[in-house]
A and B are shown apart, each in its own frame.
Chain A
């Protein structure tokens, strides 16, 4: 183990930066667990890097890289000693904060009288390790949806208050990434308790520059073997982040409908957001909506992997006797018929109307509703669309040929 001051007295203050050896990451997990946190870490499962409960760092995807493009996701194993050089997987913080299925009410009839109760159990404190900048911005958007409107979602609020985030600065960007277009990355700028920047690999001793984002982050870090980061380490970390940002900014994608380049490399995404709200709202009858509807499966994958999509449906479940009932909130999607079902029937009757609803809300009317775009540029909707529909291409097609 690298030479460290164990448990620096007084702890770290917000804004301070520490150096943590790679193998001390497990000490960080143990410090969190001692404080009662359930710990969730990245791991390889079913051919992808997902979030899963873990008690230690044994199953971290060390040396694993992901390659993503429209409708494809593949992993490869390198012999590099890198902890977080994959980018984003199918899961996001949404899976833990806005639960896929959540009981909201249960009722029981006793002697002819109904007794209703709402779940009141306080949530288990949760620490998630490996979160990226795009996902922290997505979380901030979901906070607006669930906490900052007229109605506050109490269960979300309780989970959110008990959430500890160990974020990671990306060192790679995928072809599907376009956080630079959305102003959400790649550099971490907000929303974390601790932020790790990984340095080194096989050639040199690796470790993390750890930035302290909150007091509780500093407290936890004080229980982990660390030392103050040197100026050289801090500037190296900053330079690494700056270089990735520059690489993204310099992407020259060319027109979306350009012929595929000679190489087999996937197209590097970006999204021109200039005037995007009006662009989409002024082109609601553009022929591109018909075009995309030919390809769209209306399967809802894009909305469900989207870290900001927040639609839900309520299911009423009763036992056979009708004496016990419960109500559950489940993830829903604007690609389903039930989503637009009203008294007179289904409002959005075809895939064209449903895709248009999704994209126009995500990129245009979301701004009216929440003062921010609903897209953070994580690219999940592109990767996890089984037919590889790419929203950046759809927008570019509309922009390039305004009717």
Chain B
């Protein structure tokens, strides 16, 4: 078989905590395999070598929060044949999208001695609000197995196959008892997309916090109505929805409706 040119991978960071990029480094054993299968051309957190674009696959971490980043994402898009967003920040705006409900200028005045030096946007928004995105990888942080699957699929020209159904499917496959039903705990699992790795929090007897954002057919209004009938108040539900994926449309709209 003739030698096939290795696909070039680039990783870009926007407003984020770096946790999703760390998930890639966290692959450890698989990282060597990954480096064999593809060329890591641009990944500042991992290596100093910086190869110029264009790139076959661009992974984008983080949300758009500054005018500078708003321009930079356009350049990144142009350099990448396939653009994949990784994590809650890049796919919905992340935890920092909480600023979308707050007074941005007031924050600046509290935090910075000279806010005049700060040039940031009043909102935190998803990458797909600015450029076309080929694939979105959910999670806060992303699941490393999903990340490897996506990179490996794109490296071989395949379409990744990742679940879009609810976390409940994973709970039931794992034999985990439903915390909402057996303990009356307000859990976001029924409206959240699976993929964190076998319903991570419910498996540890905690409610789902919605790290993977809304599932494919979410019905948060029905779930809120149920929890409210079990004496979970609206402010608690709003806090639950306004977390890592506060700006994901289904969670955002229900949070707004409840806080109305």
Contact = CB atoms under 8 A, between A and B. Distances in A.
A24 interface: no
In this complex, the interface size class of chain A, counting residues with CB under 8 Å from chain B, is: 35 or more
Interface in A291-337: 294-301, 304-305, 315-322, 330-333, 335-337
A63 interface: no
A4 to B, nearest CB: 36
Contacts of A305: 172
B36 A304 contact: no
A90 interface: yes
A336 B172 contact: no
A336 B168 contact: no
Interface stretch (A157-165, A203-211, A379-387): A379-387
B168 A304 contact: yes
B190 interface: yes
A351 B191 CA distance: 13
Interface in A344-385: 350-351, 354, 383-384
Interface centre among B149, B189, B190, B218, by most chain A C-beta atoms within 10 angstroms, is: B190
B34 A320 contact: yes
Contacts of A331: 169, 172-173
Contacts of B219: 295-298, 351
B48 interface: no
A10 interface: no
B174 interface: yes
A353 to B, nearest CB: 10
Contacts, number: 133
Nearest to A322: B156
Nearest to B172: A304
A160 to B, nearest CB: 20
Contacts of A90: 177-178
A45 interface: yes
A46 interface: yes
A190 interface: no
A337 B181 CA distance: 24
A50 B175 contact: yes
Given A46-B176, A50-B175, A301-B178, A388 B183 contact: no
Contacts of B175: 50, 91, 95, 100
Given A320-B152, A336-B216, A297 B173 contact: no
Given A95-B175, A319-B33, A300 B166 contact: yes
A146 interface: no
A320 B33 contact: yes
Interface centre among A101, A297, A304, A305, by most chain B C-beta atoms within 10 angstroms, is: A297
A315 B152 contact: no
Interface in B155-195: 155-156, 161, 163-166, 168-169, 172-184, 187, 189-191
Contact of B223 (A317, A338, A387): A387
Contacts of A330: 173
Interface residues of B, number: 46
A321 B37 contact: yes
A71 interface: yes
A297 B177 contact: no
A298 B190 CA distance: 8
Nearest to B149: A317
A46 B182 contact: yes
A337 B163 CA distance: 10
Given A50-B177, A320-B37, A320-B152, A72 B184 contact: yes
Contacts of B176: 46
Contacts of A95: 175
Interface centre among B36, B152, B177, B183, by most chain A C-beta atoms within 10 angstroms, is: B177
Contacts of B1: 112
Contact of B216 (A47, A320, A333, A337): A337
B77 to A, nearest CB: 26
Contacts of B172: 100, 300-301, 304-305, 331
A55 interface: no
Nearest to A99: B173
A350 B217 contact: yes
A336 B219 CA distance: 13
Contact of B168 (A299, A315, A319): A299
A73 interface: yes
Nearest to B182: A47
Interface in A132-172: none
B49 interface: no
Interface string A253-295: 0000000000000000000000000000000000000000011
13 contacts: A46-B177, A46-B205, A71-B226, A100-B175, A297-B191, A298-B217, A299-B215, A300-B168, A301-B168, A318-B152, A322-B156, A354-B217, A386-B190
Given A297-B190, A315-B161, A387-B223, 18 more contacts: A46-B176, A46-B177, A46-B179, A73-B182, A90-B178, A100-B172, A295-B222, A296-B219, A298-B217, A301-B178, A305-B172, A316-B161, A320-B152, A331-B172, A336-B164, A337-B217, A387-B225, A388-B226
Nearest 5 pairs of A and B residues by beta carbon: A304-B172, A299-B190, A46-B177, A47-B182, A100-B173
